[in-house]
């Protein structure tokens, strides 16, 4: 008997792999409770689930190893195929506090409906610990996670947190509600990885007593326990089925594509010009610019001595700076006289310029021609000089009028209570080019392909002076002038850049303004300021090119910070005056992937209340944007991409100008972090 028990115990505990499990809100968890687990950075989760009385639709993003954000729409309906009786949108967030070790569990802090309807709002601390094939979770919660009222709220001794808390109502949940209420609840559960491949048994006990549902209907709440099976055949799809108590069934389907596995990427570079094993005996510096021009690039010599050549090259946005250094160094190595031992190259765009980068010719030849050198060796001998160099430049000539980029823009909003999911699909064809000296220009046409924004103001009164709430009128026009502007760009001192732009700045505004940016070359932070005098465009004129009488002044102080151990991730904040002339601040996070995809999210809080989707008012605005490159596809411009935007439509508070040129983005190619992160491209 003892041997049989030992054999059974060995089978139960010997499965090493543990599949990912999710609750029916779409978050990592068990059946009805969250856990402290997270997805791989860059994972996108699209979840559809049902557990009476709700059908949940959620889009979640794993921004970093420690931050997960999900946009969710919860429809009240006992039958998922019937029309919803009510809609309860929300933004769910989860933050990892620390990782699991051999002696301590992993811990996470979560906020369900951090911004959204109170019906599903609640905060929690969750701890998870693996033991062989088991993953055990326990935690405590506030709000919806506390309706069982297991214990008094330990935070109530602080006056702010002792206020009464309702689990329903028409006022949106906001930071003033977090961790408040008289009580907290406890929850627990475990998952067991079955010996059968890809199937996990999950069981939990929650503290949700469905108090709001009982008050508003004759809802028969299930028992607090649940048990289910979750199936995950691969990293991209997962499903679950289970029972809540003895009388309710839940089901879930999740698609989990990874951004890094997006099949397309930035444009493939043109074939690189070869580098000879021998230096040209009759090399001529005048041939360098001609060699570059024949390759479709622009290099202009600044000066040369017997041992060194200095030149500036125009940056292209679809390649890293080290990749373009690679190409520029090839032009110089192929044509420079044999006695020249080093090249100094300065990246620039219009009047903006980066550091002077001195490359040793011998190291370039060893790596590119003889294949005996490496990017690391080139890095060790490279000198970065941030002194400002005089660049007598003319603009980059283009041989054709093929547009610079095509953008397929898909915006959706799950944050609508009156009409559920709103969406708009547009195609934008855009061109940007350098002119003479410090001038640049750009233009874009927008083609509206499809939208259902006619529902936007069906139940909401129109603003007298709309900021974005008249977007439905702009979307009615099939073809419109999206942008047409002229910019003056200048690096006035090392690390100090300015931009002045005027014209049709974006779809809904024209005007004039500018920004100034201080970005130290070797630092991971930057600060800046911007101000814009804008005029509202008239959606009832041809191409939306007319203007109304609405003049607005908007401006912000801006700050950026790249995480030291993850330079692909940038935190940003701004403080100032928004388009509705409201005052407030925005916090955002942005992650850039090696394949060129970008994921960013933001939340804005201002002193202006805007009509929210619950019939009340809110001071918050939030959104998430995912950009997926298409540049590697044939026959389309190299900067083309798909923009997927999840944000509420038609809000007036907390709105910023969608400026055509962003100095921080444009100067990222000049930074030491960008050089170091992409330095391997110099020998590819």
Percentage, residues of the chain above pLDDT 90 = 58
Report d(CA 240, CA 24) in Å as an integer: 9
578 and 433 in one domain? yes
The full 3-state SS of 88-130, as one line of letters, equals: EEEEEEEEEEECCCCCCCEEEEEEEEEEECHHHCEEEEEEEEE
pLDDT single digits (tens) 218-233? 888 999 999 999 999 9
Q: Of 261, 276, 302, which closes a domain?
A: 261
Q: Is 136 helix (H, G, I), strand (E, B) or coil?
A: strand
The number of beta carbons lying within 10 Å of the beta carbon of residue 225 is: 16
The number of beta carbons lying within 10 Å of the beta carbon of residue 317 is: 17
Q: At what angle do helices 321-335 and 286-294 cross, to 10 degrees?
A: 130
Instruction: Tell whether 129 is covered by a domain.
Output: yes
Instruction: Tell whether 282 is covered by a domain.
Output: no
pLDDT single digits (tens) 384-402? 998 887 766 555 555 455 6
pLDDT mean across residues, the chain: 88
Q: CA 663: distance to chain centroid?
A: 18
Closest CA to 430 of 321, 508, 504, 510: 504
- DSSP assignments along 364-408, one per residue: HHHHHTSS---HHHHHHH-EEE--------PPPP-SS---SEEEE
- Buried b or exposed e, range 419-450, using 16+ CB within 10 angstroms: bbebebebebbbbbbbeebbbbbbbbbbebee
**Phi-psi domain of 565 (left: phi exceeds 0; alpha: psi -120 through 50; beta: other):** alpha
pLDDT single digits (tens) 332-348? 998 989 999 999 999 99
pLDDT of residue 296: 83
pLDDT of residue 373: 86
User: Residues with Cβ < 8 Å from 254, sequence gap 6 or more?
Assistant: 22, 26, 45, 46, 47, 48, 237, 238, 239
441 and 330 in one domain? no
Instruction: Tell whether 286 is covered by a domain.
Output: no
Q: Of 261, 284, 307, which closes a domain?
A: 261
Model confidence at 612, pLDDT cuts 50, 70, 90, reads low
Q: Is 214 helix (H, G, I), strand (E, B) or coil?
A: helix
Model confidence at 419, pLDDT cuts 50, 70, 90, reads low
Report d(CA 578, CA 566) in Å as an integer: 31
Least confident range from 65-69, 110-114, 278-282: namely 278-282
301 and 253 in one domain? no
Number of domains in the chain: 3
pLDDT of residue 397: 52
Q: Of 218, 240, 261, which closes a domain?
A: 261
User: Which residues is 429 bridged to in the sheet?
Assistant: 406, 445
pLDDT single digits (tens) 294-322? 888 888 888 888 889 999 988 888 889 99
Instruction: Tell whether 278 is covered by a domain.
Output: no
Instruction: Give the pairing of strands 641-646 and 405-413.
Output: parallel
384 and 443 in one domain? no
pLDDT of residue 153: 94
Owning domain of residue 505: 405-669
- pLDDT above 70 (res 7): no
437 and 321 in one domain? no
Instruction: Tell whether 623 is covered by a domain.
Output: yes
524 and 432 in one domain? yes
Report d(CA 282, CA 77) in Å as an integer: 81
165 and 302 in one domain? no
Q: Is 438 helix (H, G, I), strand (E, B) or coil?
A: coil
354 and 311 in one domain? yes
pLDDT of residue 625: 93
679 and 662 in one domain? no
pLDDT single digits (tens) 159-211? 888 888 888 877 778 888 999 999 999 999 999 999 877 899 999 999 999 98
Instruction: Tell whether 102 is covered by a domain.
Output: yes
- Confirm if 203 and 186 have CB atoms less than 8 A apart: no
pLDDT of residue 596: 87
Q: Round the CA-based radius of gyration of the chain to a whole number and report it.
A: 28
- Confirm if 513 and 530 have CB atoms less than 8 A apart: yes
Instruction: Tell whether 269 is covered by a domain.
Output: no
Task: Work out the average pLDDT over 271-284.
Answer: 84
Quickly list H helices, 147-278. Answer: 211-216
Question: What pTM was computed for the model?
Answer: 0.85
Task: Work out the average pLDDT over 363-376.
Answer: 89
467 and 363 in one domain? no
559 and 452 in one domain? yes
431 and 342 in one domain? no
Q: What is the CATH number of the domain that holds 120?
A: 2.40.160.40
Instruction: Tell whether 602 is covered by a domain.
Output: yes
Model confidence at 427, pLDDT cuts 50, 70, 90, reads very high
Model confidence at 2, pLDDT cuts 50, 70, 90, reads very low
- pLDDT above 70 (res 493): yes
CA dihedral 114, 115, 120, 121 (to 10 degrees): 40
pLDDT of residue 8: 39
- pLDDT above 90 (res 237): yes
- Confirm if 342 and 430 have CB atoms less than 8 A apart: no
């Amino acid at each position: 008997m003892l041997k049989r028990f030992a054999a059974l115990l060995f089978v139960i505990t010997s499965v090493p792999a543990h599949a990912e499990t999710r609750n029916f809100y779409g978050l990592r968890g068990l059946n009805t409770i969250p856990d402290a687990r997270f997805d791989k950075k860059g994972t996108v989760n699209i979840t559809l689930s049902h557990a009476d009385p709700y059908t949940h639709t959620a889009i979640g993003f794993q921004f970093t190893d420690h931050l997960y954000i999900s946009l969710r729409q919860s429809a009240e309906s006992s039958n998922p195929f019937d029309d919803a009786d009510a809609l309860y949108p929300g933004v769910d967030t989860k933050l990892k506090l620390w990782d699991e070790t051999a002696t301590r569990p992993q811990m996470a802090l979560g906020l369900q409906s951090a911004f959204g309807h109170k019906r599903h709002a609640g905060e929690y601390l969750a701890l998870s610990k693996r033991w062989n094939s088991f993953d055990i979770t326990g935690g405590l919660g506030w709000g919806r996670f506390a309706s069982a009222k297991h214990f008094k709220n330990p935070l109530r001794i602080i006056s702010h947190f002792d206020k009464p808390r309702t689990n329903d109502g028409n006022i949106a949940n906001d930071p003033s509600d977090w961790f408040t209420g008289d009580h907290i609840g406890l929850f627990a559960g475990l998952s067991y990885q079955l010996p059968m491949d890809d199937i996990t048994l999950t069981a939990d006990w929650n503290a949700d007593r469905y108090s709001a549902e009982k008050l508003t209907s004759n809802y028969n709440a299930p028992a607090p326990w649940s048990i289910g099976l979750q199936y995950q055949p691969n990293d991209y799809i997962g499903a679950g089925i289970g029972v809540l108590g003895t009388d309710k069934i839940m089901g879930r389907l999740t698609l989990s594509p990874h951004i890094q596995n997006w099949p397309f990427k930035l444009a493939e570079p043109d074939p690189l010009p070869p580098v000879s094993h021998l230096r040209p005996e009759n090399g001529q510096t005048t041939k360098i610019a001609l060699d570059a021009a024949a390759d479709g690039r622009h290099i202009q010599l600044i000066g040369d001595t017997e041992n060194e050549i200095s030149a500036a090259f125009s940056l292209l946005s679809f390649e890293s700076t080290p990749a373009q250094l690679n190409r520029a160094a090839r032009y110089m190595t192929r044509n420079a006289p044999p006695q020249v031992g080093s090249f100094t190259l300065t990246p620039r765009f219009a009047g903006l310029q980066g550091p002077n980068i001195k490359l040793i010719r011998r190291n370039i030849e060893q790596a590119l021609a003889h294949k005996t050198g490496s990017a690391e060796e080139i890095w060790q001998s490279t000198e970065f000089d941030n002194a400002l160099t005089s660049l007598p430049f003319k603009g980059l000539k283009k041989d054709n009028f093929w547009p610079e980029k095509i953008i397929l823009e898909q915006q959706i909003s799950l944050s609508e209570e009156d009409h559920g999911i709103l969406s708009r699909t547009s195609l934008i064809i855009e061109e940007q080019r350098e002119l003479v000296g410090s001038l640049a220009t750009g233009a874009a046409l927008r083609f509206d392909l499809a939208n259902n924004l006619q529902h936007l103001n069906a139940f909401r009164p129109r603003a007298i002076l709309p900021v974005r709430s008249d977007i439905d009128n702009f979307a009615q026009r099939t073809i419109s002038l999206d942008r047409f502007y002229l910019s003056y760009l200048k690096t006035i001192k090392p690390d100090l850049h300015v931009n002045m732009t005027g014209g049709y700045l974006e779809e809904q505004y024209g005007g004039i303004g500018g920004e100034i940016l201080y970005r130290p070359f070797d630092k991971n932070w930057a600060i800046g300021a911007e101000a814009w005098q804008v005029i509202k465009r008239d959606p009832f004129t041809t191409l939306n090119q007319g203007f109304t009488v609405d003049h607005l002044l908007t401006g912000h102080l801006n700050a950026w910070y790249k995480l030291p151990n993850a330079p692909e991730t940038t935190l940003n904040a701004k403080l100032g005056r928004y388009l509705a002339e409201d005052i407030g601040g925005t916090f955002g996070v942005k992650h850039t992937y090696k394949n060129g995809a970008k994921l960013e999210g933001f939340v804005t809080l201002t002193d202006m209340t805007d009509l929210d989707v619950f019939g009340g008012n809110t001071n918050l605005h939030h959104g998430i944007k995912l950009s997926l490159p298409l540049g590697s596809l044939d026959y389309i411009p190299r900067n083309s991409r798909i923009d997927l935007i999840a944000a509420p439509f038609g809000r007036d508070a907390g709105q910023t100008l969608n400026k055509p040129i962003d100095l921080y983005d444009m100067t990222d190619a000049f930074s030491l972090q960008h050089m170091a992160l992409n330095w391997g491209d110099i020998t590819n």
